[in-house]
Structure 1
């Protein structure tokens, strides 16, 4: 009887390892030298294939606590966010903090992503969406006197900016609207092929040509967006979170990523965010005065000018405080973003459920990505003179909804003043 049970146990063990690659077995058993030798000959596909047991090389190494192998696999481009048969990532399987830290973004890079040295790169203070004739003269005069707030545009141009944001959002999210825009523009700006071409130009120029180690991963994610119809927008969020120049280029021009995201955003309703998230900044006294002015003038709104990475973990936004050099001209600031209602311009990239895994390459960051054109009221500015820090509390204001008809009427009325977002790219003939 005992021999039979032993034979059955041996049979089960042999079936467990049947079909596993030699590299997987080496990662599982901690044979670092063998892993290093095989990795030199591995393709990107080999590194990230799903083994017969439903796991990847990274799962095997992380689960067994083999730090050197985990480090090697990450350096060679293993995907961190792949889930195994149990819907778990390698990060989730890591047995201790020492292994989990290997999955973290470098501290200097995380500071750059969740912190602003120049808040003008992230926000501008705008006025409420009102017709020019409805703006009280005393309010207009007050705005004109505070020139430091109105750095970029006149108040009229800022009202136009908000109309532009609402109209662009409505146009992108309407299938009929996209068809009509593509019909009247030779370059078909809202076609998948056009959007993919602009993104690929950035990846090829800023990632591949800089010999970035993440190029194959970035290219793979972009191809998945192009070649899959359902929920493909998730791959673009993942692409954004990679540690590459792709993310940095979007600071200067967010349109190439904003258009496809707004086009397919309804597929991510379960990720619309409600709650609080955080972001750090360094601000001058003059910068702070502008926000204090906004608190005292209800109706003044903060508008994001590009993508802003925020975190559910306040500590991530505050990490820079301990390492920042003392500067008498600047204060370290924590922005507190409050979303009282689910906001379709704030997307939770973290794990929602087994069916909605983490979209970020860096799970520990608990990222909530705030999209361009998102509006906030500045509710309070709190200064802590003891450590020269400051907290600025922002409350989300949903962009006024525009129907497709009102969008076309607005566009027709303002078409001579400024192009719409989709007219930004013209076909090169």
Structure 2
């Protein structure tokens, strides 16, 4: 049976086979449908997902993610899958696509300036209309997905490819969230590519025409980020509030985390509105004596696409997921060290990159922290540089690379 047949919503109730099986509490059929990739987030005429029709814990547990590290950044599992095996050759830089561990954040005195530059490059010249969306989705599917899924399992590859095919034909960007939440291998792959691309850019100023790592992934990752940051359909999911995430790493890995440091995210970060969810995943990662659990509490104060509340469109609604978008800035305001778990409190710093009608650039930082929190921060140290430095000191991604406005 094809996936579109499995997910067919039968009128008048608009229920899928998964809805019917769950309503009848049929464990075997539910397992079979989920195994074959039934879409969990589809809602019937009453606005219910199949999960909401489960009456017992046994049936509800069938819908939960198994063996997940989604809300726990596990250093031990971050081994990069080889892309095209021996085909990758970065002729313009010393970086290679091996098992290098790429950080998901930047901490340095110029971090805010770099975040402004990356956000500026992702700002579309026009709104993302149907034509632009189609071009971006085509770029993602034909360029990034087709190439990158050579490293995925057959089952994962078919699922992800199918969701992006639906997104393209139906002109529905919600399927990006479906793909991101249904398959951990895909979300992990996407985030590693994003982190690696930032390092390639910042370390040696790679061009995608001379660096295979960038050539094979940059267009796709930027298009995905651009859609989530700027497409109007996601504005309704903008989130303000407190969210949680676990980090399980050797304790000295985060020695550079200091109160007053400013962190810029370089990837998508999955967090949860429910601290219990993040804590469970965090605990699962603590499996050896060298690992230490860090519990991060993010305070998000700007509802303009710093983070998206995707809990209602995620394939796993029970996770209460909030997705923090790339190039968001957070100030570490407090660190509470514990024997088993260290708590890190982070408050959003609202970065704004504004363009005048003459395309001149004005950089500004709107701090949401109180003055005392900023006294020792790297963000404040760099404030004058950001306001006074001319743009020619901010290296563009590649002065030899033509900018295709329809894609970026």
Question: Is the pair's TM-score, using the shorter chain for normalization, greater than 0.5?
Answer: yes
Match of residue 267, structure 1, among 229, 233, 248: 233
Q: Counterparts of 2:321 and 2:289 in 1: how far apart (Å)?
A: 31
Q: Structure 1 residues 324, 226: closer, same or farther in 2, change over 3 A?
A: closer
Match of residue 344, structure 1, among 305, 328, 342: 305
CA contact (8 A) 2:248 2:285 kept: no
Considering Cα pairs closer than 8 Å and 6+ residues apart, tell me whether 1 or 2 has the greater RCO. 2
Bigger mean CA deviation after superposition, 250-259 or 207-216: 207-216
Question: 1:239: which partner in 2?
Answer: 179
Match of residue 8, structure 2, among 29, 49, 52: 49
Does the alignment pair 1:168 with 2:84?
no
Aligned residues: 325
Q: Structure 1 residues 100, 404: closer, same or farther in 2, change over 3 A?
A: farther
- 1:184-227 CA-to-partner distances (Å, cap 9, x unmatched) read xxxx9x77425522344333334477443244442332133223
Flag structure 1 segments of 5+ consecutive residues without an equivalent. 1-41, 128-154, 180-187, 351-357
- 1:295-349 CA-to-partner distances (Å, cap 9, x unmatched) read 1x4xx31111101111112122212454444655442111111113424120000
Structure 1-normalised TM-score?
Answer: 0.67
Question: 1:398: which partner in 2?
Answer: 350
What is the CA RMSD across the aligned residues, in angstroms?
Answer: 3.3
Q: Counterparts of 2:160 and 2:244 in 1: how far apart (Å)?
A: 27
CA contact (8 A) 1:64 1:95 kept: no
Bigger mean CA deviation after superposition, 201-210 or 326-335: 201-210
Which aligned pairs between 1:373-412 and structure 2 lie closer than 5 A?
373-385=327-339, 388-405=340-357, 408-409=360-361
Flag structure 2 segments of 5+ consecutive residues without an equivalent. 76-100, 195-220, 364-389
Aligned residue for 2:44, secondary structure, equals coil
Question: 1:291: which partner in 2?
Answer: 257
- 1:150-182 CA-to-partner distances (Å, cap 9, x unmatched) read xxxxx4xx454123133124x22x417x89xxx
Aligned residue for 2:155, secondary structure, equals coil
Does the alignment pair 1:122 with 2:104?
yes
Q: Counterparts of 1:252 and 1:370 in 2: how far apart (Å)?
A: 15
Question: 1:332: which partner in 2?
Answer: 293
Q: Structure 1 residues 308, 333: closer, same or farther in 2, change over 3 A?
A: same
Aligned residue for 1:347, secondary structure, equals strand
Q: Counterparts of 1:421 and 1:337 in 2: how far apart (Å)?
A: 36
Q: Structure 1 residues 280, 120: closer, same or farther in 2, change over 3 A?
A: farther
Aligned residue for 2:396, secondary structure, equals coil
Q: Counterparts of 2:272 and 2:118 in 1: how far apart (Å)?
A: 24
Q: Counterparts of 2:399 and 2:235 in 1: how far apart (Å)?
A: 23
Which aligned pairs between 1:1-400 and structure 2 lie closer than 5 A?
42-52=1-11, 53-107=13-67, 110-111=68-69, 113-118=70-75, 121-127=103-109, 155=110, 158-169=111-122, 171-172=123-124, 174-175=125-126, 192-207=134-149, 210-229=152-171, 232-243=172-183, 245-254=185-194, 255-256=221-222, 257-264=224-231, 266-292=232-258, 295=259, 297=260, 300-325=261-286, 327-350=288-311, 358-385=312-339, 388-400=340-352
Q: Structure 1 residues 285, 269: closer, same or farther in 2, change over 3 A?
A: same
Q: Counterparts of 1:126 and 1:402 in 2: how far apart (Å)?
A: 23
Q: Structure 1 residues 327, 79: closer, same or farther in 2, change over 3 A?
A: closer
Question: 2:386: which partner in 1?
Answer: none
Aligned residue for 1:281, secondary structure, equals strand
CA contact (8 A) 2:164 2:175 kept: yes
CA contact (8 A) 2:297 2:344 kept: yes
CA contact (8 A) 2:7 2:39 kept: yes
Larger Rg: 1
CA contact (8 A) 1:214 1:244 kept: no
Q: Counterparts of 2:193 and 2:183 in 1: how far apart (Å)?
A: 18
Structure 2-normalised TM-score?
Answer: 0.70
> Which structure has greater helix proportion?
1
